[in-house]
Structure 1
């Protein structure tokens, strides 16, 4: 069992840290939210008053933070992870950020004697709670092997996909597919309902055919009920689509469908839906057809 410092105990990080505690690891967490710290304490984890306190003496450091600025501040900033982690510690960054920032973290971490993996996840809150996340990892094979006990505790599928930053490219591809799928399911619902079709029965049929997928399995009932309680907020998917577009530009590839999905998600945010689940793309599809729910 390992001594783990866990930074970022939000919608995803909180259940992940809880799973590590229950697996027998010695977990000390830090977050700016007192409610998040209280949840970790209730799960029998330890709470810290600062990043430095959480990281000091940790063999493994896990971060699950919203975006690049938070990762830069927590990991690279003054009195952050790199200033306080011991030589040889393994830093696993579960955040979804740009490949460039992940590469910088890996480079500066190595200069301080740390081992670093970028390990963004997919599966949303439900996947974190059920410990079935899909984890896409960038880094060395040796460091990946060392992290497997952590990955198998919080996830179901975990693969090393390349060197530092590679995990973020795969996560960008994931968000591209997820966003596009939500947009199409939303349009399918609008089409069926406008035509007077039993949309619930229609989606059930779709879920049993070639259109089947996790989004139809997990989200169709909530979408039909217009229940957009956030498992993954529009605001965060909007941030991720910015990463997708930047990654495509860096790789010099054209993603016309991705650009359209990014605009639909931006529209959802502009309409005031940023705090809703990304399945709220249904509201955008309805607005475009003048069929507000």
Structure 2
């Protein structure tokens, strides 16, 4: 079985990497925080001190990193992939970053003989651990086909979305759509509650309407139960990337821009310490004058 490298073993990355071990792959890992890799080491992964060392000890490198600069550093920084003298020459980056960054890193790495693919994950940490993520992958189709079993070990729904960088655009688009959906549902719940319709009734109405879907159901359940996960959402960051790209493309996206402003209101008022549903609930409680609870 192949030896894979995995760089970035935080909340999402650790679950994805663990599923690769479960699928029978030998794994070498790296993270700037050694402690977050300990659990993977206990499952048989081998820790390496740098991305360069990961590449030299593996046949294929994957990464799940938090922001643009981290991806640049892994690819092109000191001890980065570009310094590897042997081993892997294929990198699949699954980070939630912008398209410009992955294209720029690829432009430099291909001079060293690297082939780069990018992927984006739809889902949260629990889905990463369960291996039920949606994965959008872009880059050469032959590489996608060749490494499909790797993607299948980490995700349930895998789609090739075209040329390199498209997976980042799709991730931004899904975040924009999700932001609009979360804020829209919170708005409807808030309005109807003020009009005398209970949240449970709103939930039942939506469940029995043509607007019902798996994602709508998940948001409704959370709004009714108030079981908001106390961890910061990455959605505003991804929406921000989408807005920046839309401006460059001269494509108006007013709904996404408004949803982003609502996230900004939440941040300014210290209400952003939740995942997206919790942020949407609390920001609408604030602007409508309702008490939180």
**Common fold, TM-score beyond 0.5?**
yes
Give the structure 1 partner of residue 172 of structure 2.
Answer: 172
Find out whether 1:50 has 2:50 as its counterpart. Answer: yes
Aligned to 1:250: 248
Shift of 1:87: 6.3
Determine the C-alpha separation between the residues in 1 that align with 2:243 and 2:73.
24
How many angstroms apart in 1 are the aligned matches of 2:5 and 2:48?
Answer: 9
Deviation for aligned residue 1:88:
5.5
Map of 1:260 onto structure 2: 258
Secondary structure of residue in 2 paired with 1:266: helix
Aligned pair count reads 291
Aligned residue for 2:229?
Answer: 229
The TM-score with structure 1 as length reference comes to 0.92
Provide closer, same or farther for how the CA distance between residues 85 and 250 of structure 1 changes in structure 2, counting only shifts above 3 A.
farther
- Give the C-alpha shift of residue 238 in structure 1: 1.9
1:112, 1:59 → 2: CA distance? Answer: 16
Alpha carbons of 1:196 and 1:20: their partners in 2 closer, same or farther (altered >3 Å)?
same
Find the aligned partners of 2:118 and 2:185 in 1 and give their Cα distance.
31
Instruction: Return 5+ residue gaps in structure 2 as ranges.
Output: none
Distance in 1 between residues matched to 2:200 and 2:249, nearest whole Å: 40
Matched residue, 1:68:
68
Deviation at 1:230, TM superposition (A): 4.8
Instruction: Answer yes or no: is the 8 Å Cα contact 1:122–1:171 preserved in 2.
Output: yes
Which range is displaced more, 221-230 or 149-158? 221-230
Q: 1:259 to 1:85 in 2, by over 3 A?
A: farther
Q: Find the aligned partners of 2:35 and 2:291 in 1 and give their Cα distance.
A: 35
Instruction: Tell me, yes or no, if structure 1 residue 156 matches structure 2 residue 156.
Output: yes
- Aligned-pair distance for 1:199? 1.0
The answer (yes or no) to whether the contact 2:98–2:168 under 8 Å persists in 1 is yes
- Aligned to 1:276, the other structure's residue is in SS state coil
User: What is the TM-score normalised by the length of structure 2?
Assistant: 0.92
Q: CA deviation at 1:52?
A: 2.9
Distance in 2 between residues matched to 1:63 and 1:127, nearest whole Å: 17
Q: Is the 8 A contact 1:75 1:81 kept in 2?
A: yes
Counterpart of 1:273 in 2: which secondary structure?
coil
Q: Is the 8 A contact 1:73 1:80 kept in 2?
A: yes
Asked whether the 8 Å contact 1:88–1:115 carries over to 2, the reply is: no
Q: Indicate the RMSD between aligned Cα atoms, in angstroms.
A: 1.9
Match of 1:104 in 2: 104
Deviations 1:137-176 (A, max 9, x none): 2211111112211111111222221211111111111111
Please give the alpha-carbon distance, in whole angstroms, between the structure 1 residues aligned to 2:270 and 2:229: 14
* Kept after mapping to 1: 8 A contact 2:55/2:88: no
- The runs of at least 4 consecutive aligned structure 1 residues that moved more than 6 Å come to none
Equivalent of residue 240 in structure 1, options 215, 238, 241: 238
Query: For 1:119, what is the secondary structure of its paired residue?
Result: strand
The residue that corresponds to 1:278 in the other structure is 276
Structure 1 unmatched runs, 5+? none
More moved, 210-219 vs 158-167: 210-219
Shift of 1:224: 2.4
Which residue of the partner structure matches residue 129 of structure 2? 129
The answer to whether the 8 Å contact 1:200/1:224 transfers is yes
1:158 aligns to what SS in structure 2? Answer: strand
